[in-house]
Amino acid sequence: MFDQVAANKRRTMLLIFVFVLVVAAAAAGVAALLSLGGVGMIVVLVIAAAVAFAACWKSDSIALAMSHAKEVSEADAPRLHNVVDGLCIAVGLEKPRIYLIEDSSPNAFATGRNPRKSAVAVTTGLLDKMDRIELEAVMAHELSHIRNYDTLVMTVAVTMVGFVALLSDLSFRFLWWGGPRHRDDRKTHSGIGVVVVVLGFVMVVFAPIAARLLQLAISRRREFLADVSGVEMTRYPPGLISALEKLKNDSTVVHSASKATAHLWIENPLATRDGEGKQVRLNRLFNTHPSIDDRIDALREL
């Protein structure tokens, strides 16, 4: 397991590097597609670099704000704080900030760029529906994401996937309404100009797809590892098995969740089963989580 954690940290840095490349490619594609020229290319790339920096530095605050999470004190949520305190003391982990989300659906996620700058957020539904052993198991899973440095790349993905999608959408809207009218038509229709525009179009189209695929690649293996790491904390696999079974049987969805933050949660917060809501088929196609049944089967083998 410790070898897997070490490998996970290396993959985290690699994935962040690839995300930066995708953002840069999207920015370069927009500049080429809109014929912004050398200065425009530099401006767009500087903006992309600023977004990449902000994603690493402030993405946890963005994810918490998008989820409508509110920080709670020990007086406001004594049971939750007590569980997190015990787990952090047991494994020597610095206690993260604790947030609560007013939502009846049981779910939770962790965020932060490193264990010293981390936070865990849980829904009120999780507190209502889990007993202490199950709550401890869920918190151990989330703290494992922090200890394994999963939260860095998982939270950075929230900002970068959203930025690439927004960049692509804005560029196509700009083209739809006529694009830059001051361009030199002779330059635009030259052989080199056509090639540049075509390459820009390809980058703008495929960058959001690449970003989304990277988002899907982030979560699946890390969920299995966080399950095992969480059980290593609690020394009680049945606790997490019971919690996952409750999550599986619950049909509610998290109202404050979105496609950008779906990979953060312990269970997919979006509608994936018939009758749960809209876009069920699309959410199934781009499911960021492994099957809960597969996760339970893996835990039963421990």
Q: What is the pLDDT along the chain (302 residues), one digit of tens a residue?
A: 556 666 666 777 777 788 778 877 777 777 777 777 677 777 777 877 777 777 677 778 888 998 999 999 999 999 999 999 999 999 999 999 999 999 999 999 999 888 888 999 999 999 999 999 999 999 999 999 999 888 887 877 777 777 777 777 767 666 666 555 444 444 444 455 555 556 666 666 676 677 667 766 666 778 998 999 999 999 999 999 999 999 999 988 898 887 778 888 999 887 666 555 556 665 555 677 888 999 999 999 98
pLDDT of residue 263: 84
pLDDT of residue 281: 62
pLDDT of residue 158: 73
- Per the rule left: phi > 0, alpha: psi between -120 and 50, beta: everything else, 178 is left
Half-sphere exposure of 21 (CA within 13 A, CB side): 8
Question: Distance of CA 45 to CAs 15, 28, 31, 41, 239, Å?
Answer: 19, 7, 9, 6, 48
Give the integer Cα–Cα distance in Å for 66 and 85. 26
DSSP string, 99-157: EEE--SS--EEEEEEETTEEEEEEEHHHHHH--HHHHHHHHHHHHHHHHTTHHHHHHHH
User: Which residues are part of the catalytic machinery?
Assistant: 142
User: CATH 3.30.2010.10 region(s) of the chain?
Assistant: 65-152+216-300
137, 266 Cβ separation under 8 angstroms:
no
pLDDT of residue 178: 58
CATH superfamily of 65-152+216-300: Metalloproteases ("zincins"), catalytic domain (3.30.2010.10)
pLDDT of residue 189: 46
